[in-house]
Chain A
Amino acid sequence: MSNEKDWPLWEIFIRSRAGLNHKHVGSLHAADAEMAIENARDVYTRRNEGISIWVVESKYIKASNPADEESLFEPASDKIYRHPTFYDLPDELKHM
């Protein structure tokens, strides 16, 4: 048993191909950002899964509280007029 501390934890985001968003794929430990990118390349892109990597130290991510889920996201659920299907238009109208 040692007194060693774990290296910091990093969240890894991968762009799978040009034109797509970077997407969260998981996390890993690394001593610094450069090492986090190298490790991410080795564990998350072994089969051509990506062309670009972002790493963010986990402690810098601020997340919404799951307990606030209703107050944050419920208000959008009854606003069907925000969707195109809400509007009644004649069938003759094409391409809109």
Chain B
Amino acid sequence: MSESSMLKRFEDKIQREIKIEPRDWMPDEYRKTLVRQISQHAHSEIVGMLPEGNWVTRAPSMRRKVALIAKVQDEAGHGLYLYSAAETLGTSRKEMIDDLHSGKAKYSSIFNYPTLSWADIGAIGWLVDGAAIINQVMLCRTSYGPYARAMVRICKEESFHQRQGYEIMLTLARGSEEQKAMAQDALNRWWWPSLMMFGPPDHESKHSAQSMAWKIKRKSNDELRQSFVDATVPQAKLIDLVIPDPDLKWNEDRGHYDFGEIDWEEFWNVVKGNGPCNKQRLEARNKAHDEGKWVREAAAAFAEKQATRRKDVQQKIAS
């Protein structure tokens, strides 16, 4: 079959909502876009464990601690599902990990902000996971089968993440004056970076149009951001916290909340590696990987030895 007829077949499948599977023919650019997007997504899950891991030993109660450990463990699992989905496209785990550790690959910039107080764990669950869920619910319908399946699994597991975060915020917001101030301070610091998680505005997003045409993405950055704002404002009101945006107000005509200008200069600055924690995150990842090297080597050596022994036994039985 010629390339043009394969392309036609591919586009026809996309049109008819038939998922693309690993061994199906696909345009190089589709493959490349997916590898980039899925591996970035995987890296975000893995690096995302760091800001939260920071509070595991200092969680205020056993209940909070087991929930946080379970959440961080989920993120590791989510990273694995996504790396596996990316590997079906022909890249290797090693290539992806090397690109993350060398700084070549990107991950979500939100994880380059520090977790300064316990309230930040609440804010991350509520806002960061809330924003991620809006994006991921859309991706459950993405056109590439393995990515969509990973997303379905992740969305199912992740529904508790946002609830545990909101519960932390709610508890603090109804606590002492100091606790309420902690919650408000965390909201103040995490609100704008959370809005940035959806990426640059539609008119500046260079991959968006093609990704929408291929149904990798099903909604634009600005649409997703708007859904997040609309969903989150009433949640903040319910626990009596104030979203740090003087321009935020309900727009009757649009049926949505209007909100203020996002500081895109800050966004690009963090993407380029100059956020508060970029360096620290990469150092932590590299350190963990380097210090685990002997374990990986030992496991590989053990597996090889066991395999050799099995072979010897089989040969003896045969002879």
A7 touching B24 by the CB < 8 A rule?
no
- Per the 8 Å Cβ criterion, residues 68-116 of B in contact with A are 70, 73-74, 76-77, 80-81, 84, 87, 92-94, 98, 102
A27 within 8 A of B: yes
What is the CB-to-nearest-CB distance from A50 to chain B, in angstroms, rounded to a whole number? 13
In the complex, A42 Cα to B80 Cα: how many Å?
A: 11
Closest to A44 in B: B77
Residues of B close to A67: CB separation below 8 A: 1, 25
A32 touching B307 by the CB < 8 A rule?
yes
In the complex, A65 Cα to B24 Cα: how many Å?
A: 9
B299 within 8 A of A: yes
B77 touching A6 by the CB < 8 A rule?
no
B242 within 8 A of A: no
- Per the 8 Å Cβ criterion, residues 34-84 of B in contact with A are 70, 73-74, 76-77, 80-81, 84
What is the CB-to-nearest-CB distance from A61 to chain B, in angstroms, rounded to a whole number? 11
B94 touching A6 by the CB < 8 A rule?
yes
* Chain A residues touching B, range: 20 to 34
Closest to B6 in A: A67
Query: Which of B150, B300, B307 is most buried by chain A, counting CB atoms within 10 A of its CB?
Result: B300
Residues of A close to B73: CB separation below 8 A: 46
Residues of B close to A46: CB separation below 8 A: 70, 73-74, 77, 157
A9 touching B306 by the CB < 8 A rule?
no
Partner of A66, one of B21, B76, B92: B21
Closest to B298 in A: A31
A47 within 8 A of B: yes
B284 within 8 A of A: no
A63 within 8 A of B: yes
In the complex, A9 Cα to B76 Cα: how many Å?
A: 17
How many B residues touch A, CB cutoff 8 Å?
32
B93 touching A29 by the CB < 8 A rule?
yes
- Per the 8 Å Cβ criterion, residues 135-168 of B in contact with A are 149-150, 153, 157
B81 touching A26 by the CB < 8 A rule?
yes
A 5-38 to B, binary, CB cutoff 8 A, 1 in contact else 0: 1110100000000000000001111011001000
Of the A-B pairs whose beta carbons lie under 8 Å apart in the complex, a sample of 27, sorted by A's number, is A2-B98, A2-B293, A4-B293, A4-B296, A4-B297, A5-B94, A6-B92, A6-B93, A7-B300, A9-B87, A26-B84, A26-B149, A26-B153, A27-B84, A28-B80, A31-B296, A31-B299, A31-B303, A32-B306, A32-B307, A43-B77, A43-B80, A43-B81, A46-B73, A46-B157, A67-B1, A67-B25
Q: Which A residues contact B (CB, under 8 angstroms)?
A: 1-2, 4-7, 9, 26-29, 31-32, 35, 42-43, 46-47, 63, 65-67
Q: Which B residues contact A (CB, under 8 angstroms)?
A: 1, 21, 23-25, 70, 73-74, 76-77, 80-81, 84, 87, 92-94, 98, 102, 149-150, 153, 157, 293, 296-297, 299-300, 302-303, 306-307
